[in-house]
Amino acid sequence: MSTGPFTDGAPLQLISTIDCPVCGHRADERMPTDQCVYFYQCMECGQLLKPEPGDCCVFCSYGSVPCPPKQVTGR
């Protein structure tokens, strides 16, 4: 699903599938456009996920789509 502001002619994607590196559980989550998400708790195993070094948020580390700010800047 794609909605929101446009970047390079393509709509901003606001849904990302987070893959838990501990148990492999996958969950579709809506990303906020106005902030990064630093912590995410897996709904299956309860593991608290944090961004990997060099990433700004959990979506950039474990999601199928990078966060909206990274989509806009391309970095």
Portion of the chain with pLDDT greater than 70, in percent? 87
Domain of 54 in residue numbering reads as 2-73
27: enclosing H helix or E strand = strand 26-30
13: enclosing H helix or E strand = strand 10-13
What is the pLDDT confidence band of residue 8, given thresholds at 50, 70 and 90? Answer: low
Question: In whole angstroms, what is the distance from residue 24 CA to residue 1 CA?
Answer: 23
Number of domains in the chain: 1
pTM listed for this prediction: 0.83
Average pLDDT, the chain: 89
Q: Which amino acid is at 18?
A: I
pLDDT at res. 75: 64
21-52 pLDDT, tens digit per residue, is: 999 999 999 999 888 899 999 999 999 999 99
